[in-house]
Structure 1
């Protein structure tokens, strides 16, 4: 099939996700999805010959931006859903404007403009969407079937990953688990990813969301390099009131069987694009579609008290919003003395914003055993449930995944995974709705 790449910069287009899905099945690859004019210019500079498709609502886009894009005989195509949007794009200097109210009509004209020939919209409307990720791809669904220089027989053999999600199926409301940790890289992202994949291996539908406004890294860690800030797009849909279960699913990328990812912000400097109020609506939609929603949040937590300090940075409002909406929060820390100290300094602030279950997860380091860390926390009066995490690096290892998730784990690590499983099971069944756990000899 003929393949042509485009840059799509229409973040406010109501049917953007459906347009991308249809385009992929017709061989039109959306290689970048900039969210404003500044990002579009940056992407265009490294893709000098790629056609650009823009919407009228692209932030900070004007005639000067369009003029820069059109240099070097680049094709700039506009998308409009109303006559006013059509006129606005013409005023900015876009001569080729496609107008339509459905993704099928827009895509049919777009395919003609970029050289696919004439395509009738009805043929797109009747086209059955098949699963596009699976045969011959890696677990992230983001890499080519046979990368250059790699012998196909050397790739891990596995069954295709299903990306179809029945959003109309009746299911219980899912649970939201926020993964937090103090400053100092205690392993928040690694824990969130491992927990998501482990829950998926238990047959649960899991959505992993990167809501870290300090150091978002899940797209890089999972190998999804072309993700365009799915959480930002979801928040914008929520602000307009157009976010549904179906549109949310279309933003998710499969990273494993029964496990999907909503990527975070494209750069830490763009934390303002993650709206904390809209994040509440995003999580509510996510919990109606998935069994578990795991949210990776940054270390910062906004103050729960009203402040008149004009210099106070609202960067951590997203983390606070996720903690307040979560049914359970896992506070990740390392077993080292420094890790314990950082956790104890922030624990009271986090606890004041958590409305659900709060548990502490300890990652063992060479500077201290997890058992000693548990004793230290109990000595300081910490009463929350404490979970000892297994070797997460081994769990995510490709060799471990080929041989089976638990084949390399020793008896102690299997016990730690069972402890985490039981905690998640109690959470899903609605047990343990308090953050206080009375210390006993069994958990000391």
Structure 2
């Protein structure tokens, strides 16, 4: 049970109030004006505030006051403009105004706390922390790089963070097709061109990015090259600058990279020509974490082992997380998980390997509907494994909530207006 304060339009409040009470929450304030809410936080002592995302209701002062008191603030946005307003202030937990209480209940009842960044970004100070850049790499042979990248982005977004998914594959990425987004114009290449001319700012990022919309798991997408012949647009300096700008805009940047680690400049006499793999090298150099994805069959494991040996020459081994995808007995025999674990330990000295089960039905459903696993097959073993990996590897451990002891009976109902 949580203590709730409502600062919403009357129609939205009326729609949600009954369900909130039915779920056992205590309503400590209703139809609160912005000033009344701000000045009454200490008196009402809410644990969660539901507020409209418009400029008239949501402000940097309110976000900072709630953060200082440990109050969760959840905004409901009526349109993209209000959503952008809330994001610009640094609020991570933004829902559609038409959201049902069933969608809001998990976060109200104790989802992972995500402090707003109002007192950092909006007040003109430095952000609380730089965004994490996660590069998803894998050798040739379709090991599942894009599947892992897309669903990592979805799980990080579902945890309440703002996430950007970048398709930086110089050989022609498929992120847009996987999510049913338009790819007539390559979003990341556009960002790189603007970065090269010093014109890539927050407004341009919002214009270029496409949004994958989902209940509690929406994220921004920078689509990849329309055709592989356009790889010269992804020059190393431009990629580095563009990713640097994106990481100032979001909390996590997940980058789907190319497979090749070949230093092609050694194969040409023109030392000033564009490099096909420059985007991959730039991403790996900038990344805080590198997820190396391999396929769980004899050929796939062989490619992963050889590629991992090349990868450790470019990236600190402590930043590499190895993921073996599509683990199945039909390709490896009895005890497939044990065989993968033994192979990686014996030939690469790796004991900490994440293994994802083969789940063709879930992947087919996601491809057919152009959705993430979280939306297309939320209870599938593969989605569960990716979610657990995202939480264990990249999300900070939630602080232990210390609830204030209250004396006297507390009932579910309307305590104050």
Distance 1:400 1:390, change over 3 A: farther
SS at match of 2:133: strand
Q: Which one of 321, 341, 347 corresponds to residue 359 of structure 1? A: 321
Match of 2:224 in 1: 264
d(CA) in 2 for partners of 1:329, 1:232 = 22
d(CA) in 1 for partners of 2:164, 2:295 = 25
Say how many residue pairs are matched: 272
Match of 2:260 in 1: 300
Summarize deviations over 1:277-315 as a string: whole Å, max 9, x none: 1100111111111111000011111439x7374389821
Matches within 5 A, 1:320-331: 320-331=281-292
Give, in angstroms, the shift of residue 409 of structure 1.
Answer: 3.4
Higher relative contact order (CA 8 A, sep 6+): 2
Summarize deviations over 1:61-120 as a string: whole Å, max 9, x none: xxxxxxxxxxxxxxxxxxxxxxxxxxxxxxxxxxxxxxxxxxxxxxxxxxxxxxxxxxxx
Give, in angstroms, the shift of residue 399 of structure 1.
Answer: 12
Distance 1:392 1:252, change over 3 A: farther
Q: Which one of 310, 313, 316 corresponds to residue 269 of structure 2? A: 310
Match of 2:235 in 1: 275
d(CA) in 2 for partners of 1:314, 1:195 = 28
What is the aligned-residue RMSD (CA, Å)?
3.7
Distance 1:214 1:371, change over 3 A: farther
TM-score by length of 2: 0.57
Match of 1:190 in 2: 147
d(CA) in 1 for partners of 2:186, 2:321 = 29
SS at match of 2:379: coil
Matches within 5 A, 1:412-431: 414=384, 417-425=387-395
Match of 1:131 in 2: 80
Summarize deviations over 1:378-434 as a string: whole Å, max 9, x none: 011333731112557627736997997875235x974663244111126999xxxxx
Question: Is the counterpart of residue 374 in structure 1 residue 344 in structure 2?
Answer: no
Q: Which one of 350, 354, 369 corresponds to residue 383 of structure 1? A: 350
Q: Which runs of 5+ in 1 are unaligned?
A: 1-128, 135-157, 160-164, 430-444
Match of 1:228 in 2: 185
d(CA) in 1 for partners of 2:281, 2:241 = 14
SS at match of 1:389: strand
Contact kept? 1:326, 1:354, Cα under 8 Å = no
Contact kept? 1:328, 1:358, Cα under 8 Å = yes
d(CA) in 2 for partners of 1:428, 1:284 = 27
Summarize deviations over 1:310-339 as a string: whole Å, max 9, x none: 389821111111011100000000110101
Contact kept? 1:265, 1:274, Cα under 8 Å = no
d(CA) in 1 for partners of 2:200, 2:341 = 42
Contact kept? 1:174, 1:428, Cα under 8 Å = no
d(CA) in 1 for partners of 2:201, 2:121 = 11
d(CA) in 2 for partners of 1:314, 1:399 = 32
SS at match of 1:367: helix
SS at match of 1:213: coil
d(CA) in 2 for partners of 1:226, 1:415 = 29
SS at match of 1:254: strand
Contact kept? 1:360, 1:384, Cα under 8 Å = no
Contact kept? 2:177, 2:370, Cα under 8 Å = no
Contact kept? 1:177, 1:294, Cα under 8 Å = yes
Give, in angstroms, the shift of residue 359 of structure 1.
Answer: 0.7
Q: Which runs of 5+ in 2 are unaligned?
A: 1-77, 84-102, 105-116, 400-417
d(CA) in 2 for partners of 1:403, 1:261 = 17
Give, in angstroms, the shift of residue 362 of structure 1.
Answer: 0.7
Match of 2:404 in 1: none
Summarize deviations over 1:227-279 as a string: whole Å, max 9, x none: 40111111111111111233212211011343110011110111111112110
Match of 1:246 in 2: 203
Name segments (4+ residues, structure 1) moved above 6 Å.
Answer: 399-406
TM-score by length of 1: 0.54
Matches within 5 A, 1:68-147: 131=80
d(CA) in 2 for partners of 1:173, 1:392 = 35
d(CA) in 2 for partners of 1:217, 1:404 = 19
Contact kept? 2:175, 2:223, Cα under 8 Å = yes
d(CA) in 2 for partners of 1:199, 1:227 = 27
d(CA) in 2 for partners of 1:402, 1:377 = 27
